[in-house]
Amino acid sequence: MKLKIKRLSPDAILPARQTPLAAGMDLYACGSPVTIPPMGHAVIPTGIAIELPEGYGAFLFARSGLAIKSGVKPRNGVGVVDADYRGEIRVGLENLSGVAFRVEPGDRIAQMVILRVEEAEIEEVEELSDTARGGGGFGSTGKK
């Protein structure tokens, strides 16, 4: 698959895998530096737009090192870029730490994974099939 990418800023850095077998491509901050206060949030531009093939989505995940070491992660958990979106990819970050976090242009802020998206046909039914778990929710399968 070819992923078409358009630079919206001359300073934009194209997404890149850090190792040959990496699942995700790092996304880089673009524009002016941004300071995210403790327990605060900000939207960080990447300076790029993408054209996904039909049937695919781009999913924006936390960079594990950034989240674990600094407490900074995507605000909405996982960002979703639909195949028909052509605008700038921007990443909403939140700072869950007790100290301000500064995002500089060129910083790696998230990772983007391209995944196939199945289109489900909705069928409303009166009953669902039974399973051993049934309707058991959070913690219903035990601690271990």
Over residues 59-84, the pLDDT tens digits come to 999 998 899 999 999 999 999 999 99
> Phi-psi region for residue 130, left (φ > 0), alpha (ψ -120 to 50) or beta?
beta
Contact assessment for residue 15 and residue 109, using Cβ atoms and an 8 Å cutoff: no
Domain ranges of the chain: 4-116
Q: What's the pTM value of the predicted model, to 2 decimals?
A: 0.88
The pLDDT value given to residue 140:
65
Which CATH code, of 3.30.43.10, 3.50.50.60, 2.70.40.10, 2.60.120.1140, is assigned to 4-116?
2.70.40.10
Cα 52 from Cα 43, distance rounded (Å) = 22
Lowest mean pLDDT among 54-58, 91-95, 98-102, 137-141: 137-141
Over residues 1-53, the pLDDT tens digits come to 899 999 999 999 999 999 999 999 999 999 999 999 999 999 999 999 999 99
User: Tokens 């998230």 map to which residue?
Assistant: 110
